[in-house]
Amino acid sequence: MRRHRQAKIVATVGPASSSPQTLRALFDAGVDVFRLNFSHGTQADHRERLQAIRAMEREVGRPIGVLLDLQGPKLRIGTFADGPITLSAGERFTLDLQRELPGSQRRVALPHPEIFAALRPGSELLIDDGRVRLRVVACDAQHADTEVLVGGTVSERKGVNVPDVLLPLSALTPKDLADLDFGLSLGVDWVAMSFVQQPQDVEQLREIVQGRAGIMAKLEKPLAIHHLDEIVERCDALMVARGDLGVELPAEAVPPIQRRIVRACRRAGKPVIVATQMLESMVSSPVPTRAEASDVATAIYDGADAVMLSAESASGRYPVEAVRMMDRIIRTAEDDPHHRQALDASHTPARAERGDAIGCATRRVAALLDVAAIAAFTSTGASALRMARERPRAPILGLTPNESTARRLPLAWGVHAVACGAVSDQADMAERACAIAREQGFAQVGQTVVVTAGMPFGTPGTTNLLRIAQVE
């Protein structure tokens, strides 16, 4: 089943989309990668959903990606003795470690010693997604006296954000480690790490995963943006997680940062997802707002590999309609001549490496000859990603003998993944590429296919061959 668009759709699976029938409807509507959000649901729930996705994959005969999204550390205040309180600007309010003592109008527990270890006078604390803002006046290892900058109602166990402070805690909690082990045992294709603060966080996850899944860094902390290029270098893909990023940064700062992240990923040839509240109104409405449609289209014009649905598909009333709408927005944006102009204008030069040279040459050849498809033979997926980095006009066939690679590639821009047997020589390679392009609906007899591969065959990192073939 060919998608008539280049950018991909990631959809979160939840109570509204867990049945095999709904999952199939979501796939038919356009989902390329399904996200399992381990912030919600039990491991048993996620096992059942993954099994249903794999059963559907066998039925449709096309690789489908599954993304495990780890919860990450959740920082929350304690309880209140008499229910919610209301804070006013200018008031003093204290946070401390006395978790056994219910909160009052003057104080509440914050049972996270790592926060107090990092706070300094002048640091800000954001409660309930930034609805209430506090500034630290004085602090030590046990408590923080604050002044209320922005008041509001505070109820128990609300989340706390600490912007621009490097917290001395691991991005992997005990729950994350248990969920990670569980997900890897099931065979997930991607693992997303929440609340990445620095490149070392990504390295910690990579040491555990050991190549069993692709590593995705979720950028939702302003501190991570200071280390953007290093994080991009160390991970396999990124997600622009605009929810928490928008809490810790002014709203007007998020769009330029989103664009900066997308461009950094495009330079490096790493897939990037733009996520959070893309079609938020479709949680309860069958149509999005015009602003939401423009938001999705903007990500497409910037060249993002994928856009993501969260609550829209996980718990909303119109999950299938949300996917269909996203698919239409993407295709309409990509059909706009200005889309190609924007991609070409934002294209960055290839690196002086053999693989990048082949990718650059393939892009030029595909444009000059108006080829039907580009066939990239790849064992690890790297060759297909190099083609995707170039954002060519022709669709990319990622042909691989490895099932795990085939399941990771649906995240990448323009790549149609196909699991196929290994090739034996150049003649077999060209014949196989043309046959698959014809069978998959990308080329007809007489049309041209550009084929890339590495010699010797099956050796990772050896992309050094470009061949022009004609479909017979």
Digit-coded pLDDT (tens) for 335-349:
999 999 999 999 888
Instruction: Please give the backbone phi and psi of residue 415, each rounded to the nearest 5 degrees, phi first.
Output: -95, 125
Q: How many helices (H) and strands (E) does the chain have?
A: 17, 21
Answer yes or no: is pLDDT of 461 > 80: no
351 is known as an active-site residue: no
Q: Retrieve residue 447's tokens.
A: 């049309």
Burial of residue 90, with CB atoms counted within 10 A of its CB: 0-12 exposed, 13-18 middle, 19 or more buried = exposed
One domain for residues 183 and 234? yes
CATH code of 229's domain: 3.20.20.60
In a domain, 3, yes or no: no
Which residue range is the domain that position 141 belongs to? Answer: 85-161
One domain for residues 154 and 180? no
35 is known as an active-site residue: yes
Sequence letter at residue 178: A
221 is known as an active-site residue: no
d(CA 151, CA 308): 33
The residue whose two tokens read 């914050």 is 110
Q: What is the pLDDT of residue 458?
A: 66
d(CA 163, CA 244): 10
Nearest to 13 by CA among 58, 70, 66: 66
2 is known as an active-site residue: no
Which is higher by pLDDT, 471 or 464?
471
Residue in 54, 74, 76, 393 annotated catalytic: 76
* Mean pLDDT in residue range 9-35: 98
Kindly report, residue by residue over 153-179, the tens digit of the pLDDT.
999 999 999 988 889 988 899 999 999
Kindly report, residue by residue over 267-306, the tens digit of the pLDDT.
999 999 999 999 999 999 999 999 999 999 999 999 999 9
Q: What is the pLDDT of residue 460?
A: 72
In a domain, 331, yes or no: yes
One domain for residues 324 and 190? yes
Q: How many CA atoms lie less than 13 Å away from 453 in the CB half-sphere? A: 24
Kindly report, residue by residue over 184-193, the tens digit of the pLDDT.
999 999 999 9
CATH code of 130's domain: 2.40.33.10
d(CA 167, CA 323): 37
Going by pLDDT thresholds of 50, 70 and 90, the confidence category of residue 353 is confident
Q: What is the pLDDT of residue 334?
A: 97
In a domain, 435, yes or no: yes
Residue in 8, 218, 242, 408 annotated catalytic: 218
d(CA 185, CA 306): 26
CATH code of 365's domain: 3.40.1380.20
The residue whose two tokens read 């077999």 is 428
Residue in 146, 276, 378, 448 annotated catalytic: 276
Q: What is the pLDDT of residue 465?
A: 86
Answer yes or no: is pLDDT of 422 > 90: no
Residue in 3, 35, 158, 363 annotated catalytic: 35
Where do runs of H (alpha helix) occur along 14-69? Answer: 20-29, 43-60
Angle between helices 290-301 and 254-268 (to 10 degrees): 30
- If you average pLDDT over every residue of the chain, what do you get? 95
* Mean pLDDT in residue range 73-89: 95
* Mean pLDDT in residue range 208-235: 96
In a domain, 106, yes or no: yes
What number of other Cβ atoms are within 10 A of residue 344's Cβ? 12
In a domain, 237, yes or no: yes
One domain for residues 40 and 107? no
One domain for residues 251 and 381? no
d(CA 70, CA 67): 10
Which is higher by pLDDT, 355 or 183?
183
Q: What is the pLDDT of residue 208?
A: 97
Kindly report, residue by residue over 90-115, the tens digit of the pLDDT.
999 999 999 999 999 999 999 999 99
One domain for residues 277 and 365? no
> 325 CB contacts (<8 Å, ≥6 apart)?
279, 282, 287, 288, 293
In a domain, 340, yes or no: no
Answer yes or no: is pLDDT of 41 > 70: yes
State the total domains in the chain: 3
Going by pLDDT thresholds of 50, 70 and 90, the confidence category of residue 243 is confident
Please, which residues bridge with residue 466 across strands?
452
Answer yes or no: is pLDDT of 351 > 90: no
Answer yes or no: is pLDDT of 244 > 70: yes
Sign (positive or negative) of CA dihedral 296, 251, 226, 34: negative
